[in-house]
Amino acid sequence: MTATTHEVAAQPAPARRISPRTRQILLTVGGAVGGLALAIGAYIAWDTDHNVRTDNAAVAGSVVSVFSPAAGTLRSWDAVLGQAVSAGAPLGTVRVEGAGGQQFMFVEVRAPIDGVVVQSNAVIGQQVFPGAGGPLAVVADTANVWVVANVNEGDVHRLHVGQPVDVTVDAVPGTTFAGTVEALTDATQSTFSVFPALNANGSFTKVAQVLPVRIRLAPHAARLAVGESAAVAIHVK
């Protein structure tokens, strides 16, 4: 009785068969996943062939430091952060001492360009000097900005002036700005580094270089700040 019981218990359970309906569902799902993978691969191949993309880009523009035109004492200062100014507009006054300190005159500090005050460091009463020390202020021309995109050196041969570009800026989500390639720089970004990479010890590791590409933006209503992060898609076909 016991032996018979053990023999019955030792028999393997019969394999569970997949129903035709389940098999059809699995085949359908597998086909859909495979088709989607092929479609994604085809799109990536098409996109790589037709576009050069990089998110190593930023908004750029003219940024000018403001210094006193003469050595003296800053007596007044009217520029504040975020203020819009016009080229030649007075920002403050400097008292300039004459010979022996017997005579003096006031000299105006003026805005160098049209733009917005993005930095204001002036302190009334401080000693100022033309072109020396820290700037009294910094003015950026935010109305005429462009984008600088750092493109991998292996893709530069596919670029030329005039190609259309789609630009997105992190600070303006959901908006795509139209642009065109305006200039290609004949030097890598590392060339402008304070300490360019040099192979001085005989141990060389090749590093992919990037070249700055200047992109002109089409007229738009958004207010972009110099230095904001951007991403570009340059249409090469």
Is residue 171 a part of any domain in this protein? yes
Look up the CATH number of the domain holding residue 67. Answer: 2.40.50.100
Is residue 197 a part of any domain in this protein? yes
Confidence check: pLDDT of 183 > 70: yes
Confidence check: pLDDT of 158 > 60: yes
Q: What pLDDT score does 202 carry?
A: 65
CB atoms under 10 Å from CB of 153, counted, come to: 13
DSSP secondary structure, 179-230, as one string: EEEEEE-SS-GGGGSSS-----SS-------EEEEEEEEPP-S--PPTT-EE
The C-alpha atoms of residue 227 and residue 55 are separated, in whole angstroms, by 13
Please count the structural domains in the chain.
Answer: 2
130 plus 163 within the same structural domain? no
Q: 28-45 b/e with 16+ CB inside 10 Å = b?
A: eeeeeeeeeeeeeeeeee
CB atoms under 10 Å from CB of 216, counted, come to: 16
Confidence grade of residue 187 (pLDDT, cut at 50, 70, 90): confident
107 plus 167 within the same structural domain? no
Beta pairing partners, 120: 137
Q: What pLDDT score does 13 carry?
A: 59
Q: What pLDDT score does 82 carry?
A: 93
